Amino acid sequence: LLRFRNPEIHPSRTRPALRSLSIDLETSPDASRIFSAALVGCGVEEVHMVSQRPVEGAQDHPDERLFLAGLMARIRELDPDILVGWNVVDFDLRVLADRCHSLHLASRLGRVEGEIRFQRDTSFTRQSRAEIPGRVVLDGIPLVRDAIRLPDYRLETAARSLLGRGKRIDSELPNAAAEIERMYREEPQALVEYNLEDARLVREILEKEGLLELSVERSLLSGMQLDRVGASIASFDLIYIPELTRRG
């Protein structure tokens, strides 16, 4: 039996080792169909594609419904703590959720039952957030924008500036969407490589600049959730008001 007389208790400082997974979708120009999805992280680099024939370098699924079910099952199997991407909330996850709804599937990516939910912060940032049970979603655009000054925050610009290489096709080019659709029809292996590189670029940018570690540190200091550390006013309130209260 251990006995402690007048012990002093202090909070412990723990830095969690979090596992992240970068996701990137390629779609038709109007996002009414998903062609493929790349996953990079948690020890894998892989592409899932809607295709009725084998495609080198991809895991093929004969239709979009089976593709979505397989992709979501794979994400749950990899079990990341954090999902990242470039415009991942307002594009990739929204498209995934919309296509699941259209095809009568539950958009279940979490560790427990529950679908993807979307919110927009009421602060002046109006930043979108995606809630997935048991996971955090971090969008690469605000992470980079809060830390690094760039001419703009397209993935092409960020990758060229920070990694010295860019996308295989700049999505801002006038014919980019048509070229992606053409690759899907005529050169699916080229689309696999393009899709995978986009997911790699996001992960490498965040790793090179230490932006996930910075978000964790800001969360530990402020007490804010990882996906809300960019809400600077709320973070300030969580640090300042308790200290002000203690000082009377």
Q: Domain of 97: which CATH number?
A: 3.30.420.10
Q: At what angle do helices 155-163 and 188-208 cross, to 10 degrees?
A: 60
Give residue 202's pLDDT.
98
Decide if 93 is inside a domain: yes
Q: Is residue 11 part of a domain?
A: no
Contact 195, 26 (CB under 8 A): yes
pLDDT recorded at residue 175: 86
What's the token pair of residue 206? 């965040």
96 pLDDT higher than 50 = yes
Average pLDDT (107-126) is 85
- % of the chain at pLDDT higher than 70: 90
- Per the DSSP assignment, residues forming a β-bridge with 179 are none
Would you say residue 203 lies in a domain?
yes
pTM assigned to the model: 0.87
pLDDT exceeds 90 at position 76: yes
User: Residue 138: pLDDT above 60?
Assistant: yes
Closest to 168 measured CA to CA, from 191, 139, 202, 144: 191
- What value does the mean pLDDT take over residues 184-211? 97
Dihedral sign for Cα atoms in the order 201, 203, 207, 210 = positive
Q: How many domains does the chain have?
A: 1
In the predicted structure, residue 139 carries a pLDDT above the cut 90: yes
pLDDT of the residue at 228? 81
Answer whether residue 1 is part of any domain.
Answer: no
Domain assignment present for 3 = no
Q: Which of 75, 229, 69, 208 is nearest to 139 (CA)?
A: 229
- CA quadruple 108, 64, 47, 23: dihedral, nearest 10: -40
Average pLDDT, the chain: 90
- Is 15 a member of any domain? no
Are 50 and 61 a contacting pair, CB within 8 Å?
Answer: yes
Report the C-alpha gap between 125 and 223 in whole angstroms: 19
Specify the pLDDT at position 122: 64
pLDDT above 80 (res 177) = yes
Query: Does residue 72 lie within any of the structural domains?
Result: yes
Report residue 235's pLDDT band, with 50, 70 and 90 as the boundaries: very low
In a domain, 155, yes or no: yes
Tell me which residue range forms the domain holding 110: 20-246
